[in-house]
Amino acid sequence: MRAVTYQGPDEVTVDDVKDAELPDSLGAVVQVTAAGICGSDVHVFRGRGFSDDVGYALGHEAVGVVVEVGVGVRRFAAGDRVLVSASVGCAFCAACATGHVTACAHRREAWKHYCYGLSHGLPGSQAEFVAVPHADVNLYTAPAEVSDDAAIVLTDNAPTAWYAARRASVGPGDTVVVIGGGPVGQMAVQAAFLQGAARVLIVEPLEQRHAAAVALGAEAVDAADPKSHIRDLTSGEGADAVIEAVGHDETIALAISAARHAGRVCVVGVSHNDAFPFRMQAVQTKELQFSAGLCSVQRELPTLLALTAAHRLAPAAVVSHHLPLADAAAGYALLADRVEGVGKIVLLTNGVAA
């Protein structure tokens, strides 16, 4: 089968790789119809990966059709249209039973990583087929009214944004700052409003992303001096809640400074700085609630599927490009270089978006 593979910093290729096979009696094989390129894939592309492996299939966002299931699979059968959850859990441990699959005890030994496409241990979904372990936990039925574009965003970006708003305790009447206007940031704008925010302020230097967030109802923050402008927009108080969706040292520091006294901050942008200079004095003196983490998609997805089917949530709005799988390298370059106009890039295995 054909798959997008990581060959080293700034190099991905589309190659023939070993066909996806049933992991075991609890697994499934899904024929991928569409796969997303995530911002965290770009970390790998730039050489800031999560393993030293090369030559493995990339990607952790996919929608497709089940072609084979193990004898122990109960919820799915061949022919079912499904979302492949970005986070991977098992059917056994206590953490997964409560929806906290990022704490899965089994994955530490079996796959090492929290999602597909980070090493040879769990091959990625930017491929014609993907092997899904513990299918009853890691697949979700894709309703007919949810398009492939929406489904791709629901595998990762939308749940991450919803998780961030929930961890930041966004509630009725809140003023929320979202830092970063990529797919997660734009979904965070939607999530904050749906969770009750009265105002959402967006910090994003790229004009197209900035404008897209404003079109969703967010208020513009001057990216040249966001700290001062947020202070002006909030009468000197700061925001009730801040969602950071970038992961850079300066944007995390901005998140802390943008929160009001006793405000809440949630960081979901992926940081690779193990020595991040955490501003403990600012957090402590402002009595902030500070949280960070990676999303257990399985916990958030039922709510988001219902909201999408009811046309309350619009995940497909963040998709900007469709490319054939063969053009994956061009897609990675567009996203890595933050080319104006690029939002979510969807790779199509059959050249057609459903």
Domain coordinates of the chain in residue numbers? 2-156+296-348, 158-292
E strand or H helix that includes residue 345: strand 344-348
Q: Which CATH superfamily is domain 2-156+296-348 in?
A: Medium-chain alcohol dehydrogenases, catalytic domain (3.90.180.10)
Cβ-proximal residues to 30 (8 Å cutoff; 6+ apart), any chain: 62, 64, 65, 66, 67, 82, 84, 125, 129, 130, 132, 139
User: Which CATH class name applies to 158-292?
Assistant: alpha beta
- Directed axis angle between helix 207-215 and helix 183-194, to 10°? 20
Taking Cα atoms as reference points, which of 49, 51, 33 lies closest to residue 127? 33
Cβ-proximal residues to 20 (8 Å cutoff; 6+ apart), any chain: 1, 29, 123, 127, 129, 130, 131
> Which residues of the chain have a pLDDT value below 70?
351-354
Contact by Cβ (8 Å): 187, 163: no
pLDDT of residue 266: 98
What pTM was estimated for this model as a whole? 0.95
